Amino acid sequence: MDPEQVSEDENLKAFLPSSFGKQDRKANVEAQIEQTRRKVDGGSTGAKRISDVQPNASSDEDEDDSDDDSDEDEFPVSHELVLRTHERAVTTASLDLSGSRLVTGSTDCTFKLHDLPSMTPTTMRAFRSVDPSAPNKPSANSETHPIHQATFNPISPTQILVVTAFPQARIFNRDGELSTEFVKGDMYLRDMHNTKGHTSEITSGAWHPTNPDFCVTAGTDSTLRIWDVNDKRSQKQVLVHKSKAAGTGGRSRMTAVAWGTPVQGGNNVLVAAAFDGSLIMWSGDGPFSRPAAEVKDAHAANTWTSGIDVSPDGRLVVSRGGDDTVKIWDTRKFNKPVSSTALKSTSSQYPTTNIRFSPNSTSVITGSETGHLHILNPATLKPELVTPVTPGSPLVTVLWHDKLNQIITGSANAETHVLYNPKISSGGAKYIVSKAPKRRHIDDDPNLTMDLSQGISADSIVTPGGILSGSNQKATSYAARHPTVGLTASGKSRDPRRPYLPATTPFAKGQPDEKHIRERIPLSSMRDEDPREALLKYADKATKDPMFTNAWKETQPKAIYAELSDDEDEKSGPAAKKAKRG
């Protein structure tokens, strides 16, 4: 047979389908998981054990290899997925109880909702972007604030507590719709017990560990306020911190708060930190008239204690202060720390930098300004594992989810990393990489898609999350369903080749421009002249041809003034007053 004929048959065979009907796309799971393996410095994960951190510890090559293997089996840090859905630093991250929905907040004044089960390796994006300051209005026409904290309710996963740089905290549902907005207090009242809400910025918040209707917020008005989600008109309890530091006037900003309860049962613990360096603990179930324990010099005064967490067993409290220290406290003996270690703080630049316990209380995790994830021993606070996540960019927020056994991190470079281990993790990122990649749609390319975020016509504007006329269903706009396509929150196009076009509204169409004013309004150019020069210009004309006094020009009386010589003494004149004689 002719070789050319054979080659043509092979090409035709490769072109024709091998079978008919719908073809199921199968994924090479092992290959996709291997693609997500973290590679640092030539293929290793970059993790360092205690023996690598301590210079005096002895180590051999065989021991290092065994340590690396044990690291991958003990901590879920061998693989990672990266979400790039924000434009600025990611300040908070939270997963619901089942681990299916992820919320992240950022300094770009929005929080993003991600549905992990619906993601594929090629469609890792948020399905909803919400501005808490104006959830039902365009953010360009309203005041926006950075997101300090966004936390799922640990009991009822349908509620999200969102804290921004504003005196009012808000509750959203898992779809990003506003359900409750707490009231703002009267800033002119000096007694904080008489105000119905915070009078200044809120810095942190936490849910009640056992009651899904209660939450607590910490504000810069030196108060903690316990709220009932069913009553937004006033707080349920007010906890006022009276600082004894000199020069503060009895008030100090509350920087962080945590509400924990033992897994085995027992009393709740409410712990908060203040800007004066003190650490205060109350009984979680009350009474709240006075603290159960207080440490005045827990951290250096006038430093921002950014992170506090209570261990799941309710016995330990960890705090990360602005004085570059991390301390462990025992709730049964709260007068001095159990252990302390030095760690460079990033609270001056990112005040929401947190520190968390692992689900089984065997580890403490936090980030560093160099972008490393530190896993510490809670007994000694010595590093068990140090691994780079975003080298060169500070690691702001961390979270270790119990059910998924995965670590969520948010960094200053606007990246959200999901660290996992396919051997010990389940669901979440592992489920995403096990699915076949989705074919990209034409809507995924902004260069080939019509931009409808500015409205269908010049007089019609599409509002994200707006209500359809004649219907009770809420319309989800194209920009809300595709947050990575179209315009940013500031109104700029995500396509770098597209110039910035300001929003055109019917009201703006009726505004006269400068040319219209000069042509249609007489004497409009007088607005640009000096008033004194404009009056003096018409002085001679007003004298020769008076406009307003022309009717009585002939009958207008002339003013007669008294004539006084220069030598005449003013005191002897008619205007001089007579001296009073006593």
Query: What's the rounded Cα separation, in Å, for the pair 91 and 28?
Result: 35
- The torsion angles phi and psi of 210, rounded to 5 degrees, stand at -125, -25
pLDDT of residue 44: 52
Over pLDDT 70: what percentage of the chain?
Answer: 71
358 or 27, greater pLDDT: 358
pLDDT of residue 450: 46
- The torsion angles phi and psi of 430, rounded to 5 degrees, stand at -65, -40
pLDDT beyond 90 at 457 = no
DSSP state of 442: G
For the chain, how many residues are written?
582
Taking CA atoms, 379 is separated from 328, 337, 399, in Å, by: 8, 11, 20
pLDDT of residue 294: 93
- Phi-psi label, residue 222: left if phi above 0, alpha if psi -120 to 50, beta otherwise: left
Which of 310, 395, 309 shows the shortest CA–CA distance to 344? 395
For the segment 59-73, the average pLDDT, to the nearest whole number, is 50
Q: What end-to-end distance do the CA atoms of the chain give, in Å?
A: 147
Query: What's the rounded Cα separation, in Å, for the pair 130 and 160?
Result: 12
Tell me which residue range forms the domain holding 397. Answer: 50-439
Looking at the DSSP bridge assignments, the partners of residue 554 are: none
Residue 167, domain member (yes or no): yes
176, two tokens: 């990003």
- DSSP string computed for 380-397: T--EEEEEESSTTS-EEE
527, two tokens: 């607005």
Residue 560, domain member (yes or no): no
- DSSP string computed for 337-394: -SEEEE----TTT-TT--EEE-TTSS-EEEE-TTSEEEEE-TTT--EEEEEESSTTS-
pLDDT in tens, 198-223: 999 999 999 998 899 999 999 999 99
pLDDT beyond 50 at 299 = yes
pLDDT of residue 463: 44
pLDDT beyond 60 at 82 = yes
170 with 226: CB under 8 angstroms? no
395 with 411: CB under 8 angstroms? yes
Residue 456, domain member (yes or no): no
pLDDT beyond 50 at 459 = no
Task: Kindly compute the dihedral angle of the four CA atoms of residues 36, 40, 41, 43, in this order, to the nearest 10 degrees.
Answer: -30
225 or 10, greater pLDDT: 225
pLDDT in tens, 94-133: 999 999 999 999 999 999 999 999 998 888 889 999 999 8
Which of 123, 25, 85 shows the shortest CA–CA distance to 433? 123
- Give the pLDDT band (50/70/90) at residue 466: very low
Residue 3, domain member (yes or no): no
287 or 204, greater pLDDT: 204
- The torsion angles phi and psi of 82, rounded to 5 degrees, stand at -115, 125
Instruction: Name, of 39-48, 329-338, 540-549, the range with top average pLDDT.
Output: 329-338
Domain containing 178 — which CATH number?
2.130.10.10
Interstrand relation of 364-367 and 355-357 (parallel, antiparallel or unpaired): antiparallel
Which of 342, 421, 350 shows the shortest CA–CA distance to 374? 342
pLDDT in tens, 484-542: 555 565 555 665 555 655 555 555 555 566 677 777 777 776 667 777 887 788 788 87
25, two tokens: 């796309």
Q: Residue 222, SS3?
A: coil
Residue 444, domain member (yes or no): no
Least confident of 181-185, 418-422, 506-510: 506-510
Q: Where are the beta strands (DSSP E) in 43-190?
A: 79-83, 90-95, 101-106, 111-115, 128-130, 147-152, 159-164, 170-173, 178-181
Amino acid at 482: H
- Give the pLDDT band (50/70/90) at residue 168: very high
pLDDT beyond 70 at 32 = yes
544 or 364, greater pLDDT: 364
For the segment 385-407, the average pLDDT, to the nearest whole number, is 95
Distance of CA 401 to the CA centre of its chain: 20
Cα angle 38, 43, 49; round to 5: 75
How many other C-beta atoms lie within 10 A of the C-beta of residue 437?
13
- The torsion angles phi and psi of 428, rounded to 5 degrees, stand at 60, -125
DSSP state of 192: G
Instruction: Name, of 230-244, 413-427, 504-518, the range with top average pLDDT.
Output: 413-427
112 with 132: CB under 8 angstroms? no
Q: Residue 6, SS3?
A: helix
Residue 23, domain member (yes or no): no
Taking CA atoms, 251 is separated from 84, 243, 369, in Å, by: 40, 5, 30
pLDDT beyond 70 at 142 = no
pTM recorded for the entire structure:
0.70
520 or 162, greater pLDDT: 162
For the segment 53-80, the average pLDDT, to the nearest whole number, is 59
pLDDT beyond 70 at 458 = no
Number of domains in the chain: 1
Taking CA atoms, 227 is separated from 65, 74, 131, 287, 569, in Å, by: 52, 39, 22, 15, 81
Residue 426, domain member (yes or no): yes
pLDDT beyond 50 at 333 = yes
Q: Residue 169, SS3?
A: coil
Query: What's the rounded Cα separation, in Å, for the pair 59 and 46?
Result: 17
Mean pLDDT, the chain, whole residue set: 79
Residue 543, domain member (yes or no): no
- The torsion angles phi and psi of 98, rounded to 5 degrees, stand at -80, -15
Least confident of 259-268, 288-297, 323-332, 400-409: 259-268
Q: Where are the beta strands (DSSP E) in 50-116?
A: 79-83, 90-95, 101-106, 111-115
417 with 390: CB under 8 angstroms? yes
